[in-house]
């Protein structure tokens, strides 16, 4: 076992010593087409087969040069000029290239796919713009507009060009956007249940999002239907409304949520309103022993309001991207079903009203990179700093208590090293001048610069999380199961009050393209430690997981990643030793942490 850990660690270090070559702000060249060209050479031997080949495939002409991305200061040269027109062109997913207008869909497959696709409407794109016709062009506003459109779930990519109008102080803005194939369907079959899913991230071309799931549980012979409907960007207000539904009487979330976040550093006002009904099961029992489940049902009325203020009169991008943010929140929680009073002696579940305020400083900038979570498509990586102080008062159980907390962190790219982020928080309730339910939660994230070996590309990912509970209530425990720690790890008996998780992953991006699908093999190893009040974290047992897999990605699809993986778990308490699992992990779980400040919330203990 030590040899396996050592080899994995050495592989991570040695690959990190390779010379990095970043593709930032450059057009990513077409992937290797040798598979297609081999078919083409074979097809040309017969006229009939060559006509069939051309009807099925529409390959880009690699002899034509395509324009490079604009430089980072591209928009600055037009700052202050009046926007005369905003011209928006939206493209279907298949057969088009954003940077070459001469390429159009020709094959039957491409045309059929586009026919079935609801192309985005121009006003859907316009609803996400911060620039306005007839107003002076603000370089930061147009950069933010481009970023906001690109991060929409129905958008594959876009380009924004500015052209001055001869003889005037005006400019025209041209936006060319390409959609993703927005509809996704799937079927899953396991020994315990069958699943059918349907998703549409651009319903009717309006950017509305539909998700629907049907589950059939074999043992219980029970049908469950659940889903959500989201309407984003309501009339250029950046308000997003979502409705949730679930027919599961045990684990569910029903209700409605409306939110207007601090979607950009330029946003002045943000707010949200949720009215949600929740259901879950709490397992009660001694540590390292079978536990009994009890239904927990409650509803939340959650309201919040935020306001941002500039810290400087300077017009520089750094100054305008740094804001002082204040926020207020009211949460009313009512339980309709909880643990029996004889069992819930620590009062984990009780009706309460929480009043909370936050004040902090947020700096938000972004840089562009490639081959992180997408395959050759530009990605806006958040970099910045955040510091927030939290104070609150919870009224419940006949006596109130105070809440104090703090969150701080940063993220940045370092030349010849990669991207590093670190964010940590501490929060505690105070009753009768004594702290209770305290928590320290710290997360470190890292990915390397893009390592290139001819046409092959490689990145290393690292994530470390430490959660430490202090003076937690009896029965208030955390675990390292699946999304809470080690992917694919499932144990009903392993619980604790603090944990340390380390996740390593090596991601390879192959230069092959088969019918629009690209291939990304990966290897991973996860380590977890769980401590309790009776045993310290560092003296606890090291739980491990090792595995490998293959991602098959198509950036023209909304559900664009298909995965095959195998994991090995040396020991899972209550299960068995040396356990192999098929498809135990969902890779790409090293998601970016934006440095915005939103609704004031307690530092999480999970």
Distance (Å, rounded) from C-alpha 476 to C-alpha 462? 29
Is 26 part of any domain? Answer: no
Is 125 found in the same domain as 189?
no
Is 244 part of any domain? Answer: yes
Tokens of 346: 């620590």
| Domain closes at, from 190, 215, 248 | 248
Is 54 part of any domain? Answer: no
Is 588 part of any domain? Answer: no
Band of the pLDDT at 106, cuts 50, 70, 90? confident
Q: Which helix (H) or strand (E) holds 507?
A: strand 498-509
Q: Which pLDDT value is given to residue 559?
A: 66
Q: Which pLDDT value is given to residue 63?
A: 34
Q: Which pLDDT value is given to residue 39?
A: 54
Give buried/exposed letters for 145-179 (b at 16+ CB in 10 A, else e).
bbbbbbebebbbbbbbebeeeeeeebbebebbbbb
Q: Is the pLDDT higher at 589 or at 88?
A: 88
Judge contact between 232 and 247, C-beta under 8 A: no
| Domain closes at, from 248, 268, 302 | 248
Q: Which pLDDT value is given to residue 567?
A: 92
Is 238 found in the same domain as 205?
yes
Share of the chain above pLDDT 90, in %: 53
Domain that holds residue 165: 70-179
444 backbone dihedrals φ, ψ, rounded to 5° = -115, 130
Range scoring the smallest mean pLDDT among 150-154, 209-213, 468-472: 150-154
User: What's the half-sphere exposure (Cβ side, CA atoms, 13 Å) at 123?
Assistant: 6
Distance (Å, rounded) from C-alpha 296 to C-alpha 485? 23
Q: How many domains does the chain have?
A: 3
Q: Which pLDDT value is given to residue 26?
A: 35
Is 600 part of any domain? Answer: no
- Statement: residue 21 has pLDDT above 50: no
Is 255 found in the same domain as 236?
no
Is 575 found in the same domain as 491?
yes
Mean pLDDT of 477-493: 88
> Any long-range contacts for 402-407 (C-beta under 8 Å, 24+ apart)?
402/429, 402/430, 402/431, 403/354, 403/356, 403/427, 403/428, 403/429, 403/430, 403/602, 404/428, 404/430, 405/602, 405/603, 407/360, 407/603
Is 158 found in the same domain as 189?
no
Is 300 found in the same domain as 151?
no
Distance (Å, rounded) from C-alpha 390 to C-alpha 404? 6
Tokens of 268: 């002045």
Q: Strand (E) positions, 139-268?
A: 155-164, 170-179, 183-189, 193-203, 208-217, 222-231, 240-246, 252-260
DSSP 313: S
Mean pLDDT of 210-223: 91
Is 219 found in the same domain as 323?
no
CATH number at residue 142: 3.10.20.310
Q: Which pLDDT value is given to residue 47?
A: 53
| 301-333 residue pLDDT tens | 999 999 999 999 998 889 999 999 999 999 999
Range scoring the smallest mean pLDDT among 28-37, 188-197, 549-558: 28-37
- Statement: residue 493 has pLDDT above 70: yes
Is 228 found in the same domain as 80?
no
- The strand pair at 170-179 and 82-91 is best described as parallel
Judge contact between 358 and 600, C-beta under 8 A: yes
Mean pLDDT of 34-44: 54
For the chain, give percent helix, strand, coil, nearest 5. 10, 50, 40
Q: Which pLDDT value is given to residue 354?
A: 96
Where do we find the tokens 């804001």? Answer: 323
Is 599 part of any domain? Answer: no
Tokens of 417: 């090293």
Q: Which pLDDT value is given to residue 248?
A: 92
Band of the pLDDT at 376, cuts 50, 70, 90? confident
Q: Is the pLDDT higher at 249 or at 235?
A: 249
Band of the pLDDT at 341, cuts 50, 70, 90? confident
CATH number at residue 426: 2.40.160
Q: Which pLDDT value is given to residue 192?
A: 79
Judge contact between 211 and 227, C-beta under 8 A: yes
Range scoring the smallest mean pLDDT among 72-81, 221-230, 266-275, 445-454: 72-81
Is 293 found in the same domain as 224?
no
Distance of CA 335 to the CA centre of its chain: 31
Q: Strand (E) positions, 54-154?
A: 82-91
552 backbone dihedrals φ, ψ, rounded to 5° = -115, 115
- Statement: residue 32 has pLDDT above 50: no
Average pLDDT, the chain: 84
Q: Which pLDDT value is given to residue 9?
A: 38
Is 511 found in the same domain as 493?
yes
Mean pLDDT of 511-524: 89
- Statement: residue 586 has pLDDT above 90: no
Q: Which pLDDT value is given to residue 4?
A: 36
Inter-axis angle of helices 34-43 and 47-56, to 10 degrees? 150
Is 173 found in the same domain as 191?
no
DSSP 602: P
């Amino acid at each position: 076992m030590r040899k396996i850990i050592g080899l994995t660690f050495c592989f991570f270090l040695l690959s990190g010593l390779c010379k990095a070559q970043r593709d930032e702000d450059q057009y990513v060249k077409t992937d290797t087409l040798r598979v297609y060209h081999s078919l083409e050479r074979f097809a040309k031997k017969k006229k009939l087969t060559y006509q069939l080949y051309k009807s099925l495939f529409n390959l880009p002409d690699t002899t034509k040069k395509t324009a490079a991305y604009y430089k980072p200061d591209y928009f600055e040269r037009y700052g202050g000029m009046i926007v005369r027109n905003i011209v928006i062109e939206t493209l279907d997913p298949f057969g088009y290239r954003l940077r070459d207008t001469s390429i159009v869909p020709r094959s039957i497959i491409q045309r059929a796919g586009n026919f079935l696709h609801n192309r985005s409407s121009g006003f859907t794109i316009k609803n996400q713009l911060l620039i306005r016709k007839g107003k002076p062009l603000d370089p930061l506003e147009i950069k933010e507009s481009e970023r906001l459109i690109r991060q929409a779930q129905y958008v594959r990519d876009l380009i924004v060009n500015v052209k001055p109008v001869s003889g005037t102080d005006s400019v025209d803005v041209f936006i060319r956007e390409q959609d993703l194939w927005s509809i996704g369907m799937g079927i899953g079959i396991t020994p315990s249940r069958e699943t059918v899913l349907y998703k549409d991230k651009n319903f009717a071309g309006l950017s509305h999002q539909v998700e629907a799931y049907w589950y059939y549980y074999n043992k219980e012979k029970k049908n469950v239907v659940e889903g959500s409907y989201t309407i984003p960007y309501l009339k250029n207000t950046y308000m997003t409304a979502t409705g949730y539904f679930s027919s599961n009487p045990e684990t569910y979330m029903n209700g409605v949520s409306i939110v207007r976040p601090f979607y950009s550093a330029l946003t002045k006002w943000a707010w949200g309103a949720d009215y949600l009904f929740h259901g879950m099961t709490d397992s009660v029992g001694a540590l390292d022993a079978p536990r009994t489940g009890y239904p927990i049902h409650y509803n939340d009325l959650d309201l919040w309001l935020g306001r941002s203020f500039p810290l400087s009169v300077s017009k520089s991008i750094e100054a305008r991207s740094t804001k002082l943010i204040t926020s207020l929140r009211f949460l009313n929680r009512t339980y309709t079903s909880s643990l029996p009073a004889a069992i819930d002696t620590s009062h984990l579940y009780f009706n309460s009203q929480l009043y909370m305020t936050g004040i902090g400083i947020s700096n938000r900038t972004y840089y562009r990179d490639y081959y992180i979570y997408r395959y050759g498509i530009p990605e806006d990586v958040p970099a910045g700093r955040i510091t927030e102080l939290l104070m609150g008062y919870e009224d419940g159980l006949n006596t109130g208590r105070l809440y104090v907390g703090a969150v701080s962190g940063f993220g940045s790219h370092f030349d010849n090293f990669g991207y590093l982020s670190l964010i940590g928080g501490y929060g505690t309730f105070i009753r009768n001048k004594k702290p209770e339910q305290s928590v320290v939660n710290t997360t470190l994230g890292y990915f390397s610069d893009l390592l290139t070996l001819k046409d092959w590309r490689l990145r290393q990912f690292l994530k470390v999380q430490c959660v430490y509970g202090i003076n937690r209530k009896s029965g208030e425990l955390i675990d390292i199961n699946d999304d809470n720690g080690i992917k694919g790890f499932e144990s009903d008996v392993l619980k604790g009050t603090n944990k340390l998780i380390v996740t390593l992953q090596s991601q390879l991006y192959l230069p092959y393209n088969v019918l629009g699908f690209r291939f990304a093999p990966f290897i991973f190893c996860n380590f977890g430690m769980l401590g309790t009040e009776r045993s310290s974290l560092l003296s606890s047992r090291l739980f491990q997981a090792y595995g490998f897999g293959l991602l098959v990605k198509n950036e023209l699809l909304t559900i664009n990643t298909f995965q095959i993986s195998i994991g090995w778990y040396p020991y899972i308490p209550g299960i068995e030793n040396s356990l192999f699992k098929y498809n135990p992990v969902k890779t790409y779980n090293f998601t970016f942490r934006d440095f915005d400040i939103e609704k004031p919330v307690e530092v999480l203990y999970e």
